[in-house]
Amino acid sequence: MAGLLLAVACAPVLEEELPPTAAPVAVPVTLIADGQTRALLTTAATVDGVLAEAGLAVAPADEVTPPLIAPMTAAGGAPLVITVVRVTETTEVIPEAIPFGRQIVRSTELSPDDPPRLLQTGEPGLSEVTVRIVYRDGLEVERWPTATTVIEPARDEIVMIGVAGERDRMTFAGLLATIDDGRAILLDGATDAPRQIAIEGTLDGRVFQLSPDGAFLLYTSGESDAVSFRNALWLIATAPDAVARPLNIENVLWAGWDPAATTPRIAYTTARSTTLPPGWEANNDLWLLELPAEGPQPAPVRLVESYATAYAWWGGQYAWSADGRLAYAFANEVGVLAMPTAEEAALLDPTTAGAPQRTVLHTFTPFDTEADWAWVPALGWSADGRFLAFTDHAGDDPDTGARFDLRLADVAAGNQTALVENAGIWAFVHWSPGDGRIAYLSATDPAAGQDSAYALWLADSDGSEARRLYPPEGESGSFARAQPLAWGPDADRLAFIFDDALHILELSSGEVYRADRDDTISSHPTWAPYGPAADN
């Protein structure tokens, strides 16, 4: 019996005993491609199967709707519509003329009534713009410039105009210091008696700032280039015959005086020297250091060991407020740090102090320079510490490029507003020490990006009543990108670097002093007293 059961179990199943297989159901499809519309019946399971049955090949860039892997379904017998859009790309090299600019040379050799004198004719240049063009079914839909090559640069027109003689001497309040051809030059109350501060070594311009009362100059000395970064932080009194004092701090990216401190103190950040551009890698740390006039120097207090941020290798920018807070800017963020008072700092462990409270005011998309440098916002505090102005990467447009605005944050109220729209990548803002006015640099041609010229403007604290100060309309030149402006203590004089020369503008009269008689290259103006020290 068992053998019989085994035999039956192993017997083959006859074909007529298998369940019948259902025949595929043809689905109606409307196929739109290559300018034709076809009605098809298909048994394919997915869209790519339909295209294969129709003998229609698609390229990776083509747009297929629904997607190739979508299943074939028919709702209520309605035909499914498949659309294939052919997407192609080409590149073209388009010659473009580069318009020439106009430079104005102001000379006392001509009187203001004399006609302008043409010194050099202007000639347009030539560039080649490589453009990426995208077509959909043969129609152009996108055009993107990808590269620009200058074949022949433009030559500016140079015109001389007559002007009244600029002042040979200007008096002012306080001390004004600049770097002139690598030397530290001090102007004490007037422009006609510059005095060189006895500094050994090379001023690298990374730090160059008078103390709030003007008694000291904080500076960095060293050699820095694209493959090497090494400097040291120094302090020297502004009194005659002073001797520089090393602070034994190396590789400093930023340092600045605390205007609110009763005992002089600074904050600073450092970097590691590397062999790759830009020559350093920022530590993104933050230190406090007291600088007593007498007695031993205390050890610096480390407040931040390292801060993670976009393009962290480049580092950040900082600015003290008059009441002792520290604004910071990184490549994607602007905020404020609540710094400890001198009494609180004295109780901190120099090596393990906790990071100060951080208030983030604004975040934005980092600007990709596509180079070995990073863009970081400029910062400017109002005299009362309520407002913080800063530059902002507001977005990118394929036609006009990156947009940079000047923004104004009411730190007390916690709100923000646009101060100057499309101010340019190198925009800068500096507040008056007393009356709330702001001086700022704004691009004359924001679409030119990094190559735009700038003009100096003056406005009320909310950006209203703006007027152009320098250069006059029709004239062009270049302002310094690092530390370009400095207000005088009386708020009636504004120092700035234009075409590598120190200018001092008297706002009440509009008169300008220009220190260019010895053809030196000036930079980094710093003016004291400022902050609470200006009121003492």
Interval 497-528: pLDDT, tens: 999 999 999 999 888 888 765 567 899 999 99
Q: What is the pLDDT of residue 173?
A: 93
Tokens of 458: 């003056």
What pLDDT band is residue 19 in, cutting at 50, 70 and 90?
low
Token couple for 335: 């905020």
Residue 63, pLDDT > 60, answer yes
Percentage of the chain exceeding pLDDT 70: 90
What phi and psi, each to the nearest 5 degrees, are found at residue 520? -85, 165
Residue 422 · residue 443 · CB < 8 Å = yes
Are the CB atoms for 487 and 506 separated by under 8 Å? no
pTM of the model: 0.72
> pLDDT, tens digit, for every residue of 204-251?
999 999 999 999 999 999 976 556 789 999 999 999 999 999 999 999
| pLDDT category of residue 100 using cuts at 50, 70 and 90 | confident
Least confident of 68-82, 170-184, 191-205, 311-325: 68-82
pLDDT at 15: 46
Distance from chain centroid for Cα 200: 33
Q: With 70 as the cut, is the pLDDT of residue 16 above it? A: no
pLDDT tens digits for 257-306?
A: 999 998 899 999 999 999 888 999 999 999 999 998 777 888 899 999 99
Average pLDDT estimate for 8-18: 47
> Which of 369, 431, 367 minimizes the C-alpha distance to 405?
367
Residues 6+ apart with CB under 8 A from 302: 285, 286, 287, 350, 351, 352, 353
Return d(Cα 267, Cα 316) in angstroms, integer: 13
Contact 487, 430 (CB under 8 A): yes
pLDDT band at 91 (very low <50, low <70, confident <90, very high): very high
Residue 4: which H helix or E strand, with range?
helix 2-10
Question: Which amino acid type is present at position 189?
Answer: G
- For 455-478, write each residue's pLDDT tens digit: 999 999 888 899 999 998 877 789
- Asked if residue 44 lies in contact with residue 52, where contact means CB atoms within 8 angstroms, the answer is yes
- The model's confidence at residue 80, banded by pLDDT at 50, 70 and 90, is confident
The predicted-structure confidence for 306-332, as pLDDT tens digits, reads as follows: 999 999 999 999 999 999 999 999 999
DSSP string, 300-315: PEEEES----TTTTT-
DSSP 3-state percent helix, strand, coil across the chain (nearest 5): 5, 50, 45
Q: What is the pLDDT of residue 531?
A: 84
Question: 229-239: per-residue pLDDT in tens?
Answer: 899 999 999 99
Tally of CA atoms within 13 A in the half-sphere of 266 that contains its CB: 26
DSSP-derived pairing of the beta strands 467-470 and 485-487: unpaired
Q: What is the pLDDT of residue 403?
A: 93
Work out the burial of residue 272: count CB atoms within 10 Å of its CB; fewer than 13 is exposed, 13-18 middle, 19 or more buried.
Answer: exposed
- Give the list of residues 6+ apart from residue 459 with CB closer than 8 angstroms, or none: 437, 438, 440, 465, 466, 467
* DSSP β-bridge partners for residue 330: 333
The pLDDT, as a whole number, for residue 6 is 40
Going by C-beta distance under 8 Å and a sequence separation of 6 or more, which residues neighbour residue 58?
A: 51, 64, 68, 84
pLDDT digits (tens, 9 = 90+) for 487-496: 999 999 999 9
> Could you give the CA distance from residue 164 to residue 107 in angstroms, rounded to a whole number?
8
In the predicted model, what is the mean pLDDT of the chain?
A: 87
Cα gap 164→154, rounded to integer Å: 31
Range with the poorest average pLDDT among 52-56, 160-164, 359-363, 515-519: 515-519
**Parallel, antiparallel, or unpaired: how do β-strands 438-443 and 454-459 relate?**
antiparallel
Helix (H) or strand (E) holding 53: helix 47-53
With cut-offs at 50, 70 and 90, classify the pLDDT of residue 167: low
Tallying the residues shown for the chain, one arrives at 536
Residue 2 has pLDDT above 50, yes or no: no
110 or 507, greater pLDDT: 507
195-196 vs 203-210, strand pairing mode: unpaired
Could you tell me whether strands 63-65 and 80-85 are parallel, antiparallel, or unpaired per DSSP bridges? antiparallel
Alpha-carbon distance of 370 to 398, in angstroms, equals 16
* DSSP 8-state code for residue 534: G
Residue 294 has φ and ψ, to the nearest 5°, of -135, 165
CA dist., res. 104 & res. 158, Å (int): 6
Q: What is the pLDDT of residue 111?
A: 75
Name which of 224, 263, 217, 266 is nearest 244 in CA terms: 217
On the CB side of 146, how many CA atoms lie within 13 Å of its CA?
A: 11
pLDDT > 70? residue 31: yes
